[in-house]
Amino acid sequence: MKYDFETIMDRSGKDALAVDAIGAGVDWAVVPTKPKNGFSAIPMWVADMNFATVPSIPKAVIKRAEHPAYGYYLATDEYFDSIIRWQKERNGVSGLAKENIGYENGVLGCVSTAIQAFSAPGEKILLHSPTYIGFSLVLKNTGRVAELSPLKKDKNGVWRMDYEDMDRRIKKNNIHLVILCSPHNPCGRVWERDELKKAMEIFRDNQCIVVSDEIWSDILLNGNKHIPTQSVSDDAKKRTIAVYAPSKTFNLAGLIGSYHIIYDKYLRDRMNRQSDMTHYNSMNVLSMHALIGAYKDEGYQWVNELCQVLS
């Protein structure tokens, strides 16, 4: 392999939540206690990695940081072109344009914006259970209610969506907004095209807008292939707000920086308007260069090797 996935990296004293917060506590999470003498802390309570990221990222960040001015700036064409190329080569996406891409201060920030743009306080929003705790917290903080459709195991022990249950819950509760996690967190399913297509047909028939969290789409095990939700039909392309980020893939969560893909102008206008009202959704110039560094040729090879190592 070209890249090193074997060296043990000491993250102590480097602002790492997963390591330095153990035994100290934070007000929004259950934090592990310090291990007994002679035992090591295993930082698996936080969803980041102990692998050093691909060298093209610090190279890009350091190059920009060496210029001693960090004033207001424009997102460059290279930023958008990097995303377009990544989506084309990794996910087979064609026809993606700059106007379809928007910056997000994290996937949960995008979910929060969508909830406030397309639902009212007290309304129910459909999710699958088990669900990512971040979604639950966003719904609670925005005054919405989770309507959970449990995933079920088939005879081979594979988690599947229960389409009849989804349709029943949507109709019973007059639901018009759905949060889909693809690949699914926490069960790990990489949804197949037919599964996504059937789910999106249910959402179409019930006039539901879909927020598709696809942040885990690069970290796929055992040769699985990610199918973008927006790719399964023309209707899915129009009613879906898809969210991606290099943060999980390249261990960049501390730099902040996700992006949405929205093809429909109405959805895009409502999302942008809601986001503008909060004034929170502004990209960091170093975050922009980190994404550009991640999506260079080196990043493609690094991710392929990462998935091989994890598999």
The 10s digit of each residue's pLDDT in 256-304 is: 999 999 999 999 999 999 999 888 888 999 999 999 999 999 999 999 9
The 10s digit of each residue's pLDDT in 211-259 is: 999 999 999 999 999 999 999 999 999 999 999 999 999 999 999 999 9
How far, in Å, are 80, 123, 155, 295 from residue 100 at the CA level?
A: 10, 28, 40, 18
Tokens of 287: 């975050």
Q: pLDDT at position 281, please? A: 86
Tokens of 87: 């989506």
**Is the Cβ–Cβ distance between 242 and 104 less than 8 Å?**
no
CA distance 51 to 217: 18
Q: pLDDT at position 57, please? A: 98
Q: Which residues lie below 8 Å from residue 149, measured CB to CB, with a gap of 6+?
A: 126, 127, 128, 129, 161, 162, 165, 166, 169
Q: pLDDT at position 282, please? A: 87
By 3-state DSSP, what share of the chain in percent is helix, strand and coil, each rounded to 5?
Answer: 40, 15, 45
Domain residue extents for the chain: 77-310
Please state the separation of Cα 167 from the chain's center in Å.
25
Whether the per-residue pLDDT at 188 is higher than 90: the answer is yes
**Cβ neighbours around 236 below 10 Å, total:** 23
Whether the per-residue pLDDT at 42 is higher than 90: the answer is no
**Cβ neighbours around 144 below 10 Å, total:** 20
Q: What is the pTM of this model?
A: 0.95
Give the right CATH number for 77-310 from 3.40.640.10, 3.40.50.2020, 1.10.3720.10, 3.40.630.30.
3.40.640.10
Q: pLDDT at position 280, please? A: 83
Q: pLDDT at position 279, please? A: 82
CA distance 53 to 57: 7
Tokens of 26: 């934070």
CA distance 137 to 134: 5
Tokens of 194: 């037919």
Write the DSSP symbol of residue 255.
G
**Cβ neighbours around 87 below 10 Å, total:** 22
Whether the per-residue pLDDT at 64 is higher than 90: the answer is yes
Whether the per-residue pLDDT at 25 is higher than 80: the answer is no
Q: pLDDT at position 30, please? A: 82
Angle, helices 56-65 vs 285-294, to 10°: value is 150
Q: Is 122 left (phi over 0), alpha (psi -120 to 50) or beta?
A: left
